[in-house]
Amino acid sequence: MKTITSLLAATVLLAAATCFSEDLRIGLIGLDTSHVLAFTKTLNDPKDKNHVDGAKVVAAFKGGSPDIESSASRVDKYTEQLQKDFGVKIVDSIEELCKQVDAVMLESVDGRPHLAQARPVIKAGKRLFIDKPMAGSLHDALEIFRLAKENNVAVFSSSSLRYGKATQAVRNGSVGKVLSAWTSSPVNLEPHHPELFWYGIHGVESLFTVMGAGCETVKRGTTEDGRIEVTGTWSGGRTGIFREGSHAKGQKPYGGTAKGDKGEAEIGAYDGYAPLLVEVIKFFQTGVAPVPERETIEILAFMEASDESKKLGGQPVSISDVLKKNGAN
């Protein structure tokens, strides 16, 4: 029996090795963000100093949002560059894209169409990475996760800021249990999205990377110099704060500090896209999401709760209430 079991295990390992002996074929959805060029170069160009092995971008669907200037003004330019510099094939539909690739990176800069764009990918059974923000609302993100579970398709979403070296070190225990933390990032507003969804999500992602899930209430206020400041209270009385990055000359756009029961450390720095892409390719190969679903859901709930708190004049808002309001179980 042991011999048979060993043979079966060896067969599974050999099959897995054979399956991934060649580069995975990656498809892109939404060519209106600089990420599509940066990601494709990192994956497709072996000479790139940050090259990540294991996958190549081979096809893409343009997408684009005519009512967002930063989308409409870039989509054609980025499409042309992907074709010219990397030979990426442009297809006319997401359904056609799924026929030509092994996995999909949903890159549309606008979170609002993410649910509609994710549907055909999930239906096709393709593993899916969704760039920030996961969706234009918590409700849509919950629906994406529901569809993925219903169809047994692996999906995850993250900002590249999650994989900063210092931030990951703290998550992995370098200062012990994190008791409190603050992070900051720029907050470029976009009127079609809740306040933090468009760019503040970077700093919020760093905050949750070290604090983990378990946020209970959120209160939105401002600093003395008028910057956004959002305070979250976690289970056990722990506190996490997101602040809009300072625009003062010489200030770091991304940063923060985590205090644990074994010391404290700087967190929140941006260390490029390669660390995120390493995790994305590993996810495509294994089907194991590196970020817990609950943590991603709470990130979006934190940002929506901040909007609700702002409307209430800075009153604390319960994360559980926000989740229930949006149909979470």
Write out pLDDT tens, residues 210-253.
Answer: 999 999 999 999 999 999 999 999 999 999 999 999 866 667 88
Within-domain flag for 182: yes
Within-domain flag for 290: no
Closest CA to 186 of 241, 242, 134: 242
Q: What is the mean pLDDT of residues 18-41?
A: 88
Cα gap 60→106, rounded to integer Å: 10
- pLDDT of 329: 76
Whether the pLDDT of residue 42 is over 80: the answer is: yes
| Domain stop point among 112, 128, 160 | 160
Within-domain flag for 250: yes
The overall average pLDDT reported for the chain is: 93
Q: Judge if 89 and 156 occupy the same domain.
A: yes
Q: Rounded to 5 degrees, what are φ and ψ at 114?
A: -60, -40
| Domain stop point among 139, 160, 181 | 160
Q: What pTM did the predictor assign?
A: 0.91
Q: Judge if 122 and 179 occupy the same domain.
A: no
Length of the chain measured in residues: 329
Report the CATH number at residue 311.
Answer: 3.30.360.10
- pLDDT of 3: 47
Within-domain flag for 293: no
Q: Judge if 214 and 139 occupy the same domain.
A: no
Q: Judge if 68 and 168 occupy the same domain.
A: no
Chain position carrying tokens 């923000």: 133
Q: Judge if 226 and 134 occupy the same domain.
A: no
Whether the pLDDT of residue 126 is over 70: the answer is: yes
Within-domain flag for 289: no
Angle subtended at Cα 172 by Cα 169 and Cα 173, rounded to the nearest 5 degrees: 95
Within-domain flag for 61: yes
Chain position carrying tokens 């849509």: 140
Q: What percent of the chain has pLDDT over 90?
A: 84
Reported confidence tier of residue 328, pLDDT bands at 50, 70, 90: confident
Tokens of 62: 């343009």
- pLDDT of 2: 44
Higher pLDDT, 189 or 11: 189
Q: Judge if 232 and 196 occupy the same domain.
A: yes
Within-domain flag for 65: yes
- pLDDT of 227: 95
Whether the pLDDT of residue 97 is over 80: the answer is: yes
- pLDDT of 92: 97
Q: What is the mean pLDDT of residues 201-218?
A: 98
Beta bridge partners of 257: 182, 266
Q: Judge if 58 and 146 occupy the same domain.
A: yes
- pLDDT of 253: 85
Cα gap 317→35, rounded to integer Å: 33
CB-CB contact of 220 with 228 (8 Å)? yes
The whole domain housing 31 covers 2-160
Whether the pLDDT of residue 14 is over 50: the answer is: no
Largest CA distance in the chain: 71
Within-domain flag for 188: yes
Q: Judge if 199 and 244 occupy the same domain.
A: yes
Q: What is the mean pLDDT of residues 259-285?
A: 97
- pLDDT of 204: 98
Q: Judge if 170 and 151 occupy the same domain.
A: no
Tokens of 104: 């999909």
Which of the residue ranges 12-26, 34-48, 274-288 would you say has the lowest mean pLDDT? Answer: 12-26
DSSP state of 248: S
Q: What are the angstrom distances between the C-alpha of 144 and each of 130, 134, 154, 259, 271?
A: 10, 9, 11, 34, 28
Cα gap 259→9, rounded to integer Å: 44
CB-CB contact of 110 with 136 (8 Å)? yes
Q: Judge if 156 and 14 occupy the same domain.
A: yes
Q: Judge if 121 and 185 occupy the same domain.
A: no
Reported confidence tier of residue 43, pLDDT bands at 50, 70, 90: very high
Which of the residue ranges 6-20, 55-69, 220-234, 243-257 would you say has the lowest mean pLDDT? Answer: 6-20
Whether the pLDDT of residue 84 is over 80: the answer is: yes
Q: Judge if 144 and 78 occupy the same domain.
A: yes
Domain count of the fold of the chain: 2
Please tell me the number of Cα atoms within 13 Å of 66 on its side-chain side: 0
Report the CATH number at residue 80.
Answer: 3.40.50.720
| Domain stop point among 110, 133, 160 | 160
